[in-house]
């Protein structure tokens, strides 16, 4: 989505519990809709989400979110912060956030390693949104 921001894919894994996944995904959708700098919607149930998966067809739901701010980093920080706060409401909540082929899993009870992975993910996607240098060093 090039009209001002980046497009993210958000998937709430629930271990095959499709009713819970739909409920949680709709709750996350409602939470993200309240942010001024985001546009949020539901992915079409077409195509695969990962190699070897059936796709987001029967019972699986995924969201897309786009930042509306011209500066990608602050909007991405808002998105990640909102997802972290949403996940923190229940320790078993998870959201897989993907942008430009890069992804990270955010959970309700992150440990120090996961917090570091989320920060590194934010740094990578903020760098990609700018000039797109080869980011091989971590």
Provide the whole-model pTM.
0.76
Q: With 80 as the cut, is the pLDDT of residue 120 above it?
A: yes
Q: With 60 as the cut, is the pLDDT of residue 49 above it?
A: no
Q: With 90 as the cut, is the pLDDT of residue 1 above it?
A: no
Average pLDDT over the chain, rounded to an integer: 78
3-state secondary structure labels for all residues of the chain:
CCCCCCEEEEECCCCCCHHHHHHHHHHHHHHHHCCCCEEEEECCCCCCCCCCCCCCCCCCCEEEEEECCCCHHHHHHHHHHHHHHHHHCCCCCEEEEEECCEEEEEECCCCHHHHHHHHHHHHHHHHHHHCCCCCCCC
């Amino acid at each position: 989505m090039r009209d001002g921001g980046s497009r993210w894919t958000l998937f709430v894994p629930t271990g095959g519990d499709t009713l819970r996944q739909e409920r949680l995904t709709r709750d996350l959708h409602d939470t993200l809709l309240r942010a001024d700098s985001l546009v949020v919607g539901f992915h079409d149930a077409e195509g695969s989400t990962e190699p070897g998966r059936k796709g987001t067809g029967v019972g699986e739901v995924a969201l897309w979110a786009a930042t509306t701010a011209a500066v990608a980093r602050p909007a991405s920080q808002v998105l990640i912060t909102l997802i972290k706060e949403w996940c923190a409401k229940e320790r078993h909540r998870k959201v897989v956030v993907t942008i430009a082929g890069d992804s990270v899993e955010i959970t309700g009870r992150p440990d120090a390693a996961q917090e570091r992975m989320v920060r590194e993910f934010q740094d990578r996607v903020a760098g990609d949104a700018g000039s797109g240098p080869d980011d091989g060093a971590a």
